[in-house]
Structure 1
Amino acid sequence: MTAKGGPKTKEGKEISAQNSLKHGLTAKGFINELENANHNSLVQKLNDEYAPKGTIESILIEDLAMIRVQLARFKDVEAALFLNSQGQAEFASSLVDSLQLSDERTRQDLINAINTEKSFIDAKHQRVAKWLSTLDESNINEAELSEEIKTLIKNELRTDCIERDIRPLELIEHLEKMNTDPNAPLCIIRLMGVTPNAIKLEKAERDTQLKQINELQMRDYVTAKKVESSQNITKQKLLDRALAQKRALVDAALPAPGEIDRLYRYRTTLEKQFSNKLSQLIQLQEMRERKERQKGGGS
């Protein structure tokens, strides 16, 4: 349990200071040059309005300006909360727009990935990457594919067809379109499982195509898979950049959910402090003016 009054050790105080500065809302000093400029401007305006005399009145003017600067920080929190309430789609779109992508399909894939917390480098990608690596080591650019390599390609093609619910030749055509034409339509997903007979017929057609597929089609499939894998790696790098920006924006504008109530209580405290200090300034000036009138009347 933390001792009353906060951390006592130097290390503890340093950690506490870092906690406050993470979002900047409770920082005692200025957190950027703009705040410093706003503070100086407020001091000048308050000086013009209240014309303070003496050290105490000048200190109160400085305090009032600093409190207003601290209160202004909460606009960032409220703006971030408002953006969050508008939905993650708009936020994701703005993040991806900052990457300045020319390919609309890649842009949309990244937006979907941010909203669904999807990763392009998943277990399936790792499996395919390992499979492609094995093919590269086997030097499939030779004049003819060995039976072992053909089996390796067919096995992956079969797995791919089952996962996507599509026939081999349709899958190869779909991959080639997706890799060359940004406006290529999405593959048509078959409605499997309508009847037991439909499942048998679909499986039989898939197996027939796998048996009849020729070497050129196998090579087309491998080439298309390499392009798809490379695109996923590129998308993952772009996604990592976008998510890093997202984390930076959220950390800068939004404190942790558990801190929000405490910070709004802190804002209320600042507002009360502002009101109290303003009352003190007005009372001091009224007292000073009365004394000056009394002194003037008595002379």
Structure 2
Amino acid sequence: MTTFSHYRGRFAPTPSGPLHFGSLVAALGSYLDARAVGGQWLVRIEDIDPPRCPPGTDTTILRQLEAFGLHWDGPIVWQSARSDAYQAALERLRQQGLSYPCSCSRKQWQTHPIYPGWCRDGLREPGKPIAWRLRTDLGQRPIIWPDRLLGAQRFDPADLGDVVLKRKDGLWAYQLAVVVDDADQHISDIVRGVDLLDNTPWQMQLQGALGYPVPRYLHLPLVMSPDGQKLSKQNLAPALASEPVAIARQLFQAIETLDQAPPVELKGAAPAEQLAWAVAHWRVERIAPARERPAPDAYQEER
């Protein structure tokens, strides 16, 4: 594991809709982890899928972060402006024989648990649109790392399948873009939801192939709705509050959800006061490593 001289964390939302309570918990966890050690906290807008990103949503997200007192360092990076960097990384992987074009459709391999690698040695159907995939059987295996909350993790990327790096429609896939951006922004620590835990082996395999440093990882429990679904934009999770009283209440609930046990007298305090306390008292070891958490009842009632 690479040692970084300075802590640099990031929050990287997809602007497919406004932030919700689950987003707030993820943003807050990454913010507190950085600020507690005097580190930097960056914001990156992951807008590589324009059809999913309504115009103006990125501005809404930035205003929400500011309303909750989550102020970032340095300029914001938009992934939509980073295509040349992703293409250069894909070319490096191609030269190493670690990426390959694939003409297969999901319908063709839907009876298989993962993509079977049919195009590894040449296109099955030349002339059809192609995606680019990572050849996981040739890269670093297995992938082992110490998650800061969940402990030792071990995955074989080949068991997860040859993930897409560039889609058939020419859009960049998350796995390659996030690895290139984290390296270019010198991110030392990644704090995010546990739903991305099994993405980490692909990303670490890419980091190794591209000669990038490997950040430390901390995967936080997910926030769940009453029906057992992950709070998400796809599941129509309500947007964060916009009024000062409700903002203070939700921020306090987010600190509680991260098991930081804020004092009851902090409830209702302005975001700056709550965050100052949370930064001073942030302890990763307090977080119970359960995979999911229910959304606070009060949050549900308010929305």
Answer 1 or 2: which has greater helix percent: 1
TM-score, length of structure 1 as denominator length: 0.23
Q: Which has the higher contact order (CA 8 A, sep 6+)?
A: 1
Question: Which structure dedicates a bigger proportion of its chain to strand?
Answer: 2
